[in-house]
Amino acid sequence: MIPFLLMLSVLPSALILLYIYKRDKYEQEPLPLLLKAFGLGTLSVLCIVVAITLLNLIMNTEPNTGNHFLDSFVTAFFSAAIPEECFKFLFLYLLIWKNRNFRERFDGIIYAVFVSLGFATLENIMYVMQYGAGVALVRALTAVPAHALFGVAMGYYFSYAKFLPEYQTKYLTRSICVPIVLHGVYDFLCFAEEKFWESHPGLSVLLLLMFIGFVVFLWIQGFRKIRKMSADFYFTGIPANEVQEYINTNGRTETEATDTGTTAPVFPYLRNWYEITPALLEREQDEIYAKYPSADIDVEDSIIKVELSVTANYSWQICLTYARNYRKQKEALRTYILQPDLNELVGIAAEIPYIKADLQGNYYLDVVADNKVSGVNALDNALQWISLFEKWVNEEIELNQFVIN
């Protein structure tokens, strides 16, 4: 029976840790360091017991005043959320803040979850051994995932603090405070629901519904943070596919001999806009080079491409393409983001404005102003889009403020 209960205790944590580990798509973390994070999480249980014992010398962390709301609040925060999340944060900081393996944003979430589930696993074993398999099932769906989601929040802001040093204090504060609040609210609703069950069953049911709603909120927020941090935007990025929508794909009209003696199709020759209106091309080039001297203008597959590297908070590489039939039409200018991959950025939040898809399914920025169609305007607005996107990612603006002027 004991081996079975141990398996039930450990299985939820194992499945969650495997999922988080697999989400690290680029450079998976060394297993010894992950095991160390997990071990420090289990060690934190002992530290927390000592801390709560000392804290009880100053105040009663599990009061019984008769005021169920007050009692639940004090117990939730001072006997659980504050000491538990503080020690998790402490061990996370000591383990990886200056560790050379902490070099990707998703790493913060990975290590924080491993520390959190080290604590949760040992706690779960103690509960299951005392109360049996029924408790194991309930905690597998509630407490264990909740600790993982607290860890996601901690690691999310921890990574921001690491990779945005100018905002380090702000995000380190969030890294400790947000998990404490989430954990405290979770426990408060759970404790209060149980205390009111006998005296006020109606209120107890309401608190239970609020608890369920809060758990759903935790899951939604947690997965959003995981998707953000595991997307290409935070790493090297994957170059977008070649822009091929305007490559000549008209039907075959004739064949020509090849070096091997066989025949190959020849497509009709289509004159491009810059051949018909060379003065327009010269004007476009002059305007671009005047404002963006580092831009690289080239012709590839008969398509004019303007590549520009930009460094803001992150490194970006954008590629402006002119359609074959460009005559100062807005729809003939498209700005693709090569690095990071715009297709991955769309995965972060499909509602981000100014994004459309071409015939191949590759996403591009549709940012050219209706009243000022030019390559320079496309690049200007693409850079403004990048600035707005970075502010949105850093939670400095809301999505409804994502407006190009």
Sign of the torsion formed by the C-alpha atoms of 182, 173, 231 and 17: negative
Q: Is residue 283 part of a domain?
A: yes
Q: Is residue 53 part of a domain?
A: yes
Q: Is residue 241 part of a domain?
A: no
Domain boundary among 178, 207, 230: 230
Q: Do 387 and 301 lie in a common domain? A: yes
Q: How confident is the model at residue 115 (pLDDT cuts 50, 70, 90)?
A: very high
User: How far is residue 160's CA from residue 171's CA, in Å, rounded to a whole number?
Assistant: 6
Tokens of 238: 């994957």
User: How far is residue 106's CA from residue 95's CA, in Å, rounded to a whole number?
Assistant: 16
Among candidate residues 351, 322, 153, the one with its CA nearest the CA of residue 243: 322
The pLDDT score that the predictor gives to residue 265 is 40
Q: Do 44 and 115 lie in a common domain? A: yes
Q: Is residue 388 part of a domain?
A: yes
Q: Is residue 240 part of a domain?
A: no
pLDDT higher than 60, residue 86: yes
Q: Do 69 and 143 lie in a common domain? A: yes
State how many domains the chain has. 2
Q: Do 274 and 394 lie in a common domain? A: yes
Q: Is residue 260 part of a domain?
A: no
Q: Do 139 and 284 lie in a common domain? A: no
pLDDT tens digits for range 310-328:
887 888 999 999 876 565 6
Which amino acid is residue 328, in one-letter code?
K
User: How far is residue 398's CA from residue 368's CA, in Å, rounded to a whole number?
Assistant: 22
Contact 365, 382 (CB under 8 A): yes
Q: Is residue 239 part of a domain?
A: no
Range of the domain at 20: 2-230
Domain boundary among 230, 252, 273: 230
Q: Which long-range contacts (CB under 8 A, 24 or more apart) does 126-131 make?
A: 127/9, 128/5, 128/8, 128/9, 129/2, 129/5, 129/9
Tokens of 252: 């075959």
The arithmetic mean of pLDDT across residues 5-19, rounded, is 91
Contact 367, 335 (CB under 8 A): yes
Q: Do 8 and 121 lie in a common domain? A: yes
Q: Is residue 257 part of a domain?
A: no
Mean pLDDT for the chain?
83
Domain boundary among 171, 206, 230: 230
User: How far is residue 314's CA from residue 312's CA, in Å, rounded to a whole number?
Assistant: 5
Q: Do 63 and 160 lie in a common domain? A: yes
pLDDT higher than 80, residue 54: yes
Q: 1-10, 32-41, 261-270, 297-306: lowest mean pLDDT where?
A: 261-270
Q: Do 214 and 319 lie in a common domain? A: no
The pLDDT score that the predictor gives to residue 377 is 92
Of 62-66, 183-187, 226-230, the range with the highest mean pLDDT is 183-187
Q: Do 270 and 320 lie in a common domain? A: yes
Tokens of 26: 């680029």
Q: Do 215 and 301 lie in a common domain? A: no
The arithmetic mean of pLDDT across residues 265-284, rounded, is 65
Q: Do 317 and 377 lie in a common domain? A: yes
The pLDDT score that the predictor gives to residue 319 is 93
The arithmetic mean of pLDDT across residues 351-355, rounded, is 86
Q: Do 62 and 145 lie in a common domain? A: yes
